[in-house]
Amino acid sequence: MINAPRGTRDILPGQTSLWKHVIHTCEQAAVSLSFSEIRVPTFEDVALFQRSLGEGTDIIDKELFLVRGRHTEGEQYALRPEGTAGIVRAYIQHGMRTLPQPVRLYSILNLFRYERPQRGRYREHVQFDIEQFGSKDPSADAWVILTQWTALTRLGLGDAQLSLNSLGTTEEREFFREQLIAYFKPLQEELSEDSKRRLSSNPLRILDSKDPLDQPYLPNAPHLIDSLGNESRHHLDTVCTYLKTWGIAYTIDPFLVRGLDYYCQTCFEWSIPSEAGRPLALGGGGRYDSLLPALGGPDSGAVGAGLGLDRLVDLLEERGWQEPSSEVPKLAIVEEKSNKEAAAALIPQLVSQNIALWTDFSRGSLSSQLKAAAKEGCTYALFISEQGLQLKDLRRGAQQTVRLEEVKDAII
Ligand code: AMP
């Protein structure tokens, strides 16, 4: 027997309603804050991810799913491991810089990372992604945070905590990188293997390490936030003022980083405290002004963020989410063997009236069909008798004669 690939999951019929609820809530939050939907390909030229995420990141070095076509010698694609690169590409490729700015885009994306599968960490996962282009103003950062907050609170996850940090300007980040290397270099031998590697490739990521070997050295490491210049300080303070005005609680976390080279200024993360100790990350984002020009676009500012929908779904399931009872009445068409063809002939007209239908003519007796219909959640059953068409209310037991065109009104 062939099973689903490791790290992927099937979403079974009983689980899809929660998924739809989560996706719908995120989409409504985005639309209510002026984001428009964009859909981009599931795979892109591998160079796009290499250029936007940068060599030396885990996503590029270890986690890319590479795709090679049969007849595409020299071309190489990758399944998208994150959403920003493809959307930035589309913004540039379709000349969206000429539209009124800011351009606000959202997408629900399946993402692929070859990670070690565990609960909450899958090789295919889904994110609610938002990107806002064409503004370097701190209000744009705050707007993206507001959109994620709106989705989380509407989902009943208002207890999610927001951590915030600033990565400063590109120059401040570069200077900070040197400071970090100077601090960690003498400690190199004591650090975890990952951090040793990151010391040369991506030292900011060491601050983000959860490895116990690194923990003793983190509290005394330099904080970028302490040495921000006026411009960056003002940017962060203004974002914070917006959040306070909107009643969005946050804490400043000087250890929060986005390891990708193009990030600057604001970065943030949403998490839920968990009993296991380590908070569960739900999503995050930040400003990445220099990615657009690096990919051939305008230097006009960009900020984006993603929420991990698998984790939101798992969390809501753990908290006992109940599907609201369906308001749509479902009609069963039941019939004895001898009359099945006549009953089947009713179906097209009922379908065209947009009535939700259930049948199982393979069952022999009327009573066994009625029992199964009730189990399926049908509220009414329709059958043909000598007195004409009969409509039976399965909850109250009442029965009436109806004409076909009256059925819709009778069951509402
Ligand atoms: P990232 O794109 O790595 O910043 O992740 C954003 C959010 O997506 C995380 O906070 C998680 O909620 C979710 N996420 C990231 N990777 C995975 C994964 N492999 N499986 C499930 N959810 C993930």
pLDDT digit string, tens, across residues 11-21: 999 899 999 99
Task: Give the chain's end-to-end CA distance (angstroms, integer).
Answer: 46
What is the reported pLDDT for 189?
92
What is the reported pLDDT for 259?
64
How many angstroms does the Cα of residue 412 sit away from the middle of ligand 1? Answer: 43
Average pLDDT over residues 369-380: 93
Tell me which residue has its CA closest to atom 18 in ligand 1.
121
pLDDT tens, residue by residue, 332-366: 999 988 888 999 999 999 999 999 999 998 988 88
Q: Closest Cα to residue 230, out of 158, 274, 169? A: 169
Tell me which residue has its CA closest to atom 16 in ligand 1.
121
Per-residue pLDDT at 211 exceeds 90: no
Report the percent of the chain where pLDDT is more than 90. Answer: 73
Tell me which residue has its CA closest to atom 10 in ligand 1.
283
**Atom from ligand 1 closest to the CA of residue 306:** 6
**Atom from ligand 1 closest to the CA of residue 82:** 2
Query: CA 390, 396, 397, 403: dihedral to nearest 10 degrees?
Result: -10
Per-residue pLDDT at 150 exceeds 80: yes
pLDDT band (50, 70, 90) for residue 297: very high
Cα–Cα distance measured from residue 21 to residue 82, given in angstroms and rounded to the nearest whole number: 22
Per-residue pLDDT at 152 exceeds 90: yes
Average pLDDT over residues 114-143: 96
Pocket test for ligand 1, best of 111, 144, 157 (most atoms within 8 A of CB): 111
Average pLDDT over residues 100-128: 96
How many angstroms does the Cα of residue 171 sit away from the middle of ligand 1? Answer: 28
Tell me which residues have their CB closer than 6 angstroms to ligand 1.
82, 113, 115, 120-122, 125, 127, 281-284, 306, 308, 310-311
pTM for the predicted model, two decimal places: 0.91
Residue 265 tokens read as 């200024």
How many angstroms does the Cα of residue 85 sit away from the middle of ligand 1? Answer: 16
**Atom from ligand 1 closest to the CA of residue 258:** 4
For 390, half-sphere exposure in the C-beta direction (CA atoms, 13 angstrom radius) is: 14
Cα–Cα distance measured from residue 268 to residue 162, given in angstroms and rounded to the nearest whole number: 7
How many angstroms does the Cα of residue 311 sit away from the middle of ligand 1? Answer: 8
Report the percent of the chain where pLDDT is more than 70. Answer: 99
Residue 320 tokens read as 């006992």
Per-residue pLDDT at 326 exceeds 90: no
Tell me which residue has its CA closest to atom 14 in ligand 1.
308
How many angstroms does the Cα of residue 88 sit away from the middle of ligand 1? Answer: 19
Per-residue pLDDT at 212 exceeds 80: yes
Tell me which residue has its CA closest to atom 8 in ligand 1.
308
Write the CA distances from 264 to 29, 50, 174, 318, integer angstroms. 26, 19, 11, 36
How many angstroms does the Cα of residue 208 sit away from the middle of ligand 1? Answer: 15
pLDDT band (50, 70, 90) for residue 298: very high
What is the reported pLDDT for 59?
84
Q: 363-401 burial, b if ≥16 CB within 10 A, otherwise e?
A: beeeeebbebbeeeebbbbbbbeeeebbbbebeeeeeee
What is the reported pLDDT for 72?
66
What is the reported pLDDT for 57?
75
Tell me which residue has its CA closest to atom 17 in ligand 1.
121
| Mean confidence (pLDDT) of the chain | 92
pLDDT tens, residue by residue, 240-296: 999 999 999 999 999 898 767 788 999 999 999 887 778 899 999 999 999 999 999
Per-residue pLDDT at 170 exceeds 80: yes
What is the reported pLDDT for 154?
97
What is the reported pLDDT for 60?
84
How many angstroms does the Cα of residue 308 sit away from the middle of ligand 1? Answer: 5
What is the reported pLDDT for 56?
67
Pocket test for ligand 1, best of 127, 260, 267, 316 (most atoms within 8 A of CB): 127
What is the reported pLDDT for 329?
81
